[in-house]
């Protein structure tokens, strides 16, 4: 099954992590490959170790692209996204995982870091091999939405950022 968590609201990665937590509790093996998140520290960087070996998180992104002080050349971000997809493909083919999560892959496609066609081809090839796949990030492409078995769109109704309140460590990252 293909799940997509998308939209402009908070909670896409958190929903995927919740699914992973539940799956590991049932003896499933889950791999999360992060396409954008890189050197920034977040709570899951440590907590995933507590779920090992059933859950593995691999940060392959180089950080947020073009915002929040990003000074890396674009080609570095593009290579990171290509490497993340290649890694996900290799791991899928290994048969070691029941669930693969491509965290923020939708963002990577929307930003033009990786071609939508490459991700779509990977998903089509992999769904016969792997039990479940979860894609997260804003702006999920319509072709993937059409392929998905479950699509949840998060949307902001109210956000503390509107009042100038920054994200809280341990809750939002």
3-state DSSP assignment of residue 121 = helix
Domain ranges for the chain, please list them.
2-155
H-assigned helices in the chain: 12-25, 44-50, 74-94, 105-110, 116-126, 142-147
What pLDDT is stored for residue 66 in this prediction?
61
pLDDT above 70 covers what percent of the chain?
94
pTM of the model: 0.91
Name the CATH superfamily housing domain 2-155.
P-loop containing nucleotide triphosphate hydrolases (3.40.50.300)
State the average pLDDT over residues 22-44.
91
Q: What tens digit of pLDDT does each residue of 53-106 get?
A: 999 999 998 778 766 666 768 888 899 999 999 999 999 999 999 999 999 999
């Amino acid at each position: 099954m293909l799940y997509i968590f998308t939209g402009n609201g908070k909670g896409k990665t958190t929903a995927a992590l919740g699914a992973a937590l539940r799956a590991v509790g049932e003896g499933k093996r889950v791999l999360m490959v992060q396409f954008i998140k890189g050197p920034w520290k977040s709570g899951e960087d440590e907590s995933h170790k507590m779920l090992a070996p059933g859950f593995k998180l691999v940060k392959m992104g180089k950080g947020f692209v073009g915002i929040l002080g990003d000074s890396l050349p674009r080609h570095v971000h593009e290579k990171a996204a290509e490497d993340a997809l290649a890694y996900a493909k290799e791991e899928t083919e290994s048969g070691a995982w029941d669930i693969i999560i491509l965290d923020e892959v939708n963002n990577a496609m929307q930003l033009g870091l990786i071609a939508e066609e490459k991700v779509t081809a990977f998903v089509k090839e992999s769904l016969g091999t792997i039990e479940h796949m979860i894609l997260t990030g804003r702006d999920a492409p319509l072709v993937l939405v059409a392929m998905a078995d479950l699509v949840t769109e998060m949307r902001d109704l109210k956000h503390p950022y509107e009042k100038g309140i920054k994200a809280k460590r341990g809750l939002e990252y």
